[in-house]
Chains A and B, each alone.
Chain A
Amino acid sequence: MSEQQAAYVLRVVEERRIRFVQLWFTDVLGRHKAFHITPPELEDALDEGMTFDGSAIDGFSRVQEADVLAKPDLDTFQLLPWHPDGEGVARVFCDIATVDGAPFEGCPRHRLRRVLDGAHDEGYTMFVAPEVEYFYFDSLEPPGPPRPVDRGSYFDLGTDDGIGAVRRHTVRTLEEMGIPVEHAQHEDGPGQHELDLRYTDALTMADTVMTVRHVVKELARTAGIAASFMPKPLAGVQGSGMHTHVSLWRDEVNAFCDADDAYGLSPLAYRFIAGLLAHAKEITAVTNQWVNSYKRLVPGHEAPVHVSWARNNRSALVRVPTVKPSKTDSTRVEYRAPDSAANPYLCFAVILAAGMAGVRGGYELPDEATGNLFDRAQGKDLERLPSSLKEATDTMAGSALLHDTLGDHLVEWFLRNKRAEWADYAESVTPFELDRYLPLL
């Protein structure tokens, strides 16, 4: 942090009459955490960080090392535009450190930065552009399944302009916060919407995904409705994915691009895809981290099921979008497994780690998948992604790549937490069982 930046932030707080500064960070499961400080406390927070009890945060501390420090990253200081003038609120993302100032092993932002630095040492910078899907519902309160606010579908213009207005307001607010949205569209499901974000470096994008989820929910709430990023909120309707477009850059050149190749891809890109496929099953617990995530990864609903790659085949796990000859800088691969409820820091970290393992190890890419893999018969010779959280966590437990990428502290905590979630689920009696068995048995 430079002194000029600190001076800039302190002056802006004064000039814009900021009443509160929210220190934002993310727990291991990608849930948004914040505490609020007043401007007089800010200068100290910038100099020394804010101490808090990390044992209250999922995945952060064992009891004997409870206190951790939140250290603001001043590059991310930003006003939240929906608060009225004169009662301004700003946010700043924090890195979590131990009390002696060392990066904290359980901090997702730190884990991602470490993986990015590793690739950067070899000359590569990762750029990411996710498509974030979510639903608008009347309310998120049980009982009963949530009711979507509209009955629209893919690319609907939206005759019901209540929801169109909420989404437009959301996009405008994001733009005011410096988050360009390439497309905003109505998705396939009733009440489902999608925001395609313009690429940035991976760390900025992970912060951006956290911001987007917060803004979408906050503005829905003020409009009297509710937004949810739950992976599969409605049975029989497609779930909410976070298809993640990735490119690697070396100096000023897109390292995935080779104009002479039939698919426009460089050898590096092929090895990167091979890495993604080879490690796909190991990283799924991170890209799809909830019991409910696996209700989305089923055949027939636009989500990948098999470990496969293809050019322009929407049923494949890794898709290589076609780019115009004049736009070869846009060459990228799309990883289609992640859902909108993943922890974006860890999600981007494991995607990069898997791809880079392919690059470093010179992995060979299997043949392209042809045909519609959503058709159950077509995928029969291909390996499957884990079909449950249990299978995914068991696969993760044996993965050297995951231990390397996320560190033992984080992996062990994650496995403990996810196994407990699975145990709770396994013990529960679901509406499915009651409906099907109670009258019958």
Chain B
Amino acid sequence: MTDDGAVRPAELVCVPAVDGALADGARRAGLRACPEPDTKTAATAVVERRGEVAAVVVDATGRGVLDAMATCKVLRRLEGGFEPIVVVVTPAQLTELALRDELYDDFVLAPVDAEELAARLRHLAALRRSTLGAEVVAHGELTINLETYQAAVAGRALDLTYMEYELLRFFAANPGRVLTRETLLSRVWGYEYYGGARTVDVHVRRLRAKLGEEHAHLIHTVRSVGYRFG
């Protein structure tokens, strides 16, 4: 209990396990480290103990970044989303974090320094307190409310299918970057898609149709490479 009587979240969920450094870091940040062996149990923990979970640490060193990101994705897409998420990576895994920024809030390098982890957790908690409210991604006249899944352009609501929404959200989170079809397939569709890179072209064309002539240019074609947003 804090002075004002509110229960402060006190749990640091660690996927897949708690080791000495994580336990120590949690303790220094005023938290209790709880192991959750896999994505499913972690998601259940967050749903059932939402008010108590202060943050989730996902360790990618043992099972790889792809697997760790799958966990992050599930947590992010829980009703109402979840943050903050900290991932643990080896220096060699750093490059794999590129273009996945929306899936985690911070990272620490393995081997984990307990004091550094505690400092990052305190910093994330402070940031979170200052930015409460719906999270909105905006680019020019386009806005995407990540909480309500509503996208609008110049005030006009866009009625998107789920994949169109996911694609637009990914574009808007990475403005100005050239994104290859392969990147979009692996980051937006994951690995279950049908029809290869042409699927991306089909969806981009559908998105442009919905954006309307005036705003279709938000998604540029970069010839024989892919697309650039913004």
Which of A's residues lie within 8 Å of B, judged by CB? 3-5, 7-9, 11-12, 15-16, 74-79, 81, 120, 125, 127, 174-180, 198-201, 204, 249, 251-252
Contact = CB atoms under 8 A, between A and B. Distances in A.
B130 interface: no
A4 B169 CA distance: 14
B227 to A, nearest CB: 15
Nearest to B205: A180
A79 B206 contact: no
Given A16-B157, A178-B209, 18 more contacts: A4-B77, A7-B79, A12-B149, A15-B148, A15-B150, A76-B161, A79-B159, A127-B198, A175-B210, A176-B209, A176-B212, A178-B160, A178-B161, A180-B206, A199-B202, A201-B194, A201-B198, A249-B196
B230 to A, nearest CB: 21
Nearest to A85: B157
A210 to B, nearest CB: 16
21 contacts: A3-B77, A4-B162, A5-B162, A8-B165, A16-B159, A74-B162, A77-B162, A120-B194, A125-B194, A127-B198, A174-B209, A175-B210, A176-B210, A177-B210, A178-B160, A178-B206, A178-B207, A179-B209, A180-B206, A201-B195, A201-B202
B225 interface: no
A134 B121 CA distance: 63
Contacts of A11: 148-149
Contacts of B195: 125, 127, 201, 249
- Top 9 closest A-B pairs, CB basis? A178-B206, A79-B159, A175-B209, A4-B77, A125-B195, A180-B209, A5-B162, A8-B162, A200-B202
Contacts of B202: 199-201, 204
Contacts of B181: 252
B199 interface: yes
Contacts of B148: 11, 15
B222 interface: no
Contacts of B160: 178
Contacts of B210: 175-178
B77 A7 contact: yes
A178 B164 contact: yes
B196 A125 contact: yes
A74 B162 CA distance: 8
A222 B183 CA distance: 44
Interface string B1-41: 00000000000000000000000000000000000000000
B196 A251 contact: yes
Contacts of A201: 194-195, 198-199, 202
B111 to A, nearest CB: 34
Contacts of B208: 180
Given A7-B77, A175-B209, A78 B159 contact: yes
Interface in B174-230: 181, 194-199, 202, 205-210, 212
A8 to B, nearest CB: 5
Contacts of A9: 162
Contacts of A200: 202
Contacts of A4: 77, 162
A201 B194 CA distance: 9
A75 B197 CA distance: 18
B82 to A, nearest CB: 13
Contacts of B164: 178
A120 B157 CA distance: 36
B163 interface: yes
B168 to A, nearest CB: 12
Given A176-B159, A252-B196, A198 B205 contact: yes
Interface string B71-82: 000000101000
A75 B209 contact: no
A125 B195 CA distance: 6
Contacts of B194: 120, 125, 201
Contacts of B163: 75
A15 B210 CA distance: 18
A199 B148 CA distance: 31
